[in-house]
Amino acid sequence: MYQLRPIVRYPLWSAVIGIFIVVMALPAVLVLSHKNPTTYSEVEVGAGFYDLPAIPIVKPDGKPLRCEDGPMVIGKSWLCEDTFLTGYIIEEIEDNDAAKELAIRRLTRGLRDEAAAASNGPDVPVGGVYTQQGPALILDNEDNEELTAMIPYTHINPDVLTPEQKEEIDKPDSDLAKSWLVAYVQGDAPYRELVAQTFAGAGILPDDADLPAIPDTEVKA
């Protein structure tokens, strides 16, 4: 059996509750945003989980993708125009296609929105097309404008990792050696495709990636 558990030992239900709390508090956050300046940072999927590896998202022009910091309290999230993007970490998925597809669909449902995340109802199937692209698992749901991508830490391009992270991943008994990095994107197609191709490229956008230009979203003071 796979287990939807982040490597930082928070159970999935606590992440779900955290997502619900954040969204319920969103009106207050929007009010406070008029008083507090908006902050921006480079999008690095998996950032915010201590010093664990993260995948930087780079635009087709070679510049890092910088977006408005989002409201997530577990890990980091970003708002890229009208697109929401966040990362997550899980471990212990059975090494078979059925278990992997079930895991990515359940993760998508849990991260989708506050209504689905807060409900404790039966398992409701999540639509979309499930594929494996390179080392990554991709669930693309165009009807809901969402995409979930997963990659094992052991398959991330070493150029993305620090020497310490490489050493830790190479240990057969380490948590990282059996863990997966997850990206969830809801919004515009160019951002979904950018994340999909970056994960399919083991954490690096291929040189021949066929993507539309993505504008700078940071508002300069």
- The tokens describing 82, both together, are 């009208």
The count of domains in the chain is: 1
Dump pLDDT digits (tens) for 189-218. 999 999 999 999 999 999 888 888 887 877
| Model pLDDT, residue 195 | 97
- pTM beyond 0.85, yes or no: no
- The tokens describing 86, both together, are 């966040």
Does residue 79 sit within a domain? yes
Integer-rounded Cα radius of gyration of the chain: 17
* Domain boundaries, position 186: 12-34+41-200
Whole-number Å distance between alpha carbons of 115 and 23: 10
Residues 5-15: what's their mean pLDDT? 46
More confident residue, 150 or 174: 150
| Model pLDDT, residue 62 | 92
Does residue 182 sit within a domain? yes
Whole-number Å distance between alpha carbons of 21 and 30: 14
Does residue 130 sit within a domain? yes
Does residue 3 sit within a domain? no
C-alpha distances (whole Å) from 190 to each of 64, 82, 134, 211, 213 are 15, 12, 19, 7, 8
DSSP state of 126: P
141, 128 Cβ separation under 8 angstroms: yes
C-alpha distances (whole Å) from 157 to each of 20, 134, 195, 203 are 34, 12, 15, 6
Does residue 207 sit within a domain? no
pLDDT at 138 over 50: yes
Whole-number Å distance between alpha carbons of 110 and 108: 5
66, 216 Cβ separation under 8 angstroms: yes
- The tokens describing 120, both together, are 């404790």
Strand partners, 85: 78, 185
Residues 107-130: what's their mean pLDDT? 64
Does residue 209 sit within a domain? no
Cβ-Cβ contacts under 8 Å for 167 (sequence gap 6 or more): none
Does residue 56 sit within a domain? yes
With a pLDDT cut of 90, the percent of the chain lying above it is: 46
What confidence tier does 33 reach under pLDDT thresholds 50, 70, 90? very low
Range name among 22-26, 61-65, 87-91, 122-126 with the lowest pLDDT average = 22-26
Does residue 17 sit within a domain? yes
Cβ-Cβ contacts under 8 Å for 36 (sequence gap 6 or more): none
